[in-house]
Structure 1
């Protein structure tokens, strides 16, 4: 070798231009944070601040990672900068500063920051956490905190009552109380957010949107309001869906300080199909001691991992889910499907639902809907052939798709199935419903419901055991083993109710009361003659209890109005 080297020149057209904007560095910060590479995460968060210094979220993200690294002094400097130069309305920064001072054992300064937060924050966003910190500081300071005024306590007792009403499904009563509260304290953001939820549950979508938009006009960064607005918009038509997508992108840049906010944000992002951002939040949640033993969060993280291209991590998460909860059937199903997915790619819908039944219902709807849009004429021939010669499960899948063809061949196939006494009764009932959806006037049996609720999968990242307990209680008390039609109607009404409530679903601690109301209303929709007293005896509850829970479901689902519009001749008093 002669020591003379010659480097080949690369073609000039191989240069790739990267847009290194705020989002570029934010994504890298989150990726580094997920790998616990705090130094890299901090470097990238600093870059987002340089690029968009007027965005308070960037400063708070940087403050959060500094706090995680134990650099509490620098974290407080970033938070103080937000209050003094970026957005003075972000009073929660003072609460974060109090936490940092407490971690530095500078308890006098922690007291100052905490009292400043309590005296400035009308929403009470961290009121309970602040009360816990008060106990800590009093112990460390060996005295009571200085006399102070808690702004959020103005009307807080009424606000707590209203929140309890929402949890119990008393939406009309909660809205009345919250409206009164906001007349006295118009800047009470938490009360306004809950009022928006109450309106949404009662089907008053326009008022719900107006209320949450008022909150965000005053506090553009209010996380609870942004999450609610995104979900409200998601279910308000094509224009609303587009706005929801924009909100989802905005929410994906937020990193909450507290577990409750992180879970709220993660589930919202999952609903909005922002799986990468949802994964990052679920992953961070699992780093905490409390969440590490929660099977459901492992499951949600597994779904988010798979949907964001991390099949290996998804497998780990679902296996851990099964260790914590051997009855986690959706996780078990996905683990069984993983070998095929690794080889051939994911070939079916993967949803955040915790119950396998809900997963399959979502997959069924998607699969048939996609095939229909590809070629309606050939798809129709396939469906007709399936009705004529398929097995029971295949026929059930076709009929549950609820297609509304008007072609005579399709209608003939439905009529034959509906009138065939040798067929399964459930299939015959489904065929009758499909005929009705196709515009045919079918003389329905008394057992069929006159009102149909949405069969579209409720966009829920979870299906809680307590929700299923209510449905199971109603089915056991009211359905014979072969009564598939009634079971389906109970499930349809209950699913419609939950879909309208989500994400703030009541606790449902009294399953018998909710099940009794579900039974009563389903019977009314099927033109039954049940009374509160009869239903109450069946479930071992009082007639007044049945009436109370019936009212709550009706407030959400607008059953009286829908029955009246559908058939005034058959309307029953609720």
Structure 2
């Protein structure tokens, strides 16, 4: 062999030197593997380790080729050396070791290595394969595997639970769980996105914006984060920023179904209905999509909002076919027919993408049913979200209706929302009185903090005015009797007025409070005057009969209440004649 052939090749009078390093031997090893020359590959991988002993990838390659050639014990020696001498964070080595042990039929050792992998590996690169191997080991060992906590799934269970809470409308519980999860795993972006949505559903707009900005600081291209931000900016009213972000989103064509759906609904909410319609139609053409009735509703709304009424009708019919018990498709089909017949409706105004009746329609139905909130409304997460949002951002009438609804839902979410409402410094005192009354009616008897005129006070249980040194049992008995008889026929605000009227009467009369030996007479008077205040039809005969007293007793007690509290004057001020 000439000197030239040993050192390189001559080209244009130059000698090209071969750099004998780890990369050189790695490339030779890969080339040998492609030609199925395992002996050569093993030799070259060993040389790569010699040249670069601190690189764990070289060691892994050597372990891999040893395993390929059937030297499972030799492979595990190399893998153990990686973990003890080179890089202890290479947790995938435990998975490779488990494979080797399984091939050696050392199933106990394989299980130990696999459990270690699952408990130490944060990325979960081989999670699916590990689950398959675990099934094999359970079969071979004839017992369940000894798996403790799977690190790569750490927080995933909690996140899935929180997401289910959001879907059920249990926003407060979901937010608490997500806040706790993010303290432990601050980079869990899916959880942070859902936390932002939880805040938003509860009407906590500033907190929602802060959470979504945190997502985008960590991952500026996060599609869910960008979509959520666009919806939040739309609420904030910054049209310039919204236009820029909306245009950016309009140019995105996602690959994954989940991203297509998220972008479609977002574009619809932003009023980019043509783009939304295109994404929804794309989903409906995908054979792998689960054709949920709400998807047909969303596509129908998009079609309607761009004037494709015939397509909208067909899509709502598809939704009705898949969800025959829902009143939503039927509602919109009926309104569509009214519009096509020339009657006034939303069209050509825009309609909401929510798979539910419009909030105003829900309230109208509720009032029509006499104030009794149907179970379907209590459990509907969209309705609950509207309630939480309305309690923070609605007008006074809407807030009163929502507090009334909350008194009927009566779960822990509601109690917490009402407690928080008492602490809102800008809310009217009357609304807070109603919220406090609702809490007491729901059995909350512990002292409650409340902000009044900029100061935080603590309100204890019971009905005692701060100006009264005592509250006698017989006074309470009158109030209890009136509320017991009125409970199913009067709403929360009216029951609150009964209490307010009686406390006012006792307070103004004190210490010369009349005898209340005729408990039924005073209770009848309270109902009679409350009914009149709310323009409800009632006679002395009806009130007297209901409480088992004479008409004269009911009339006498009513007259005394009116004299002390000036009810007729208040009514004349509220409802002037003419």
TM bucket by the smaller chain? 0.3 to 0.5
RCO higher in structure (CA 8 A, sep ≥6): 1
* TM-score, length basis structure 1: 0.40
* TM-score, length basis structure 2: 0.40
Choose 1 or 2 for highest CA Rg. 2
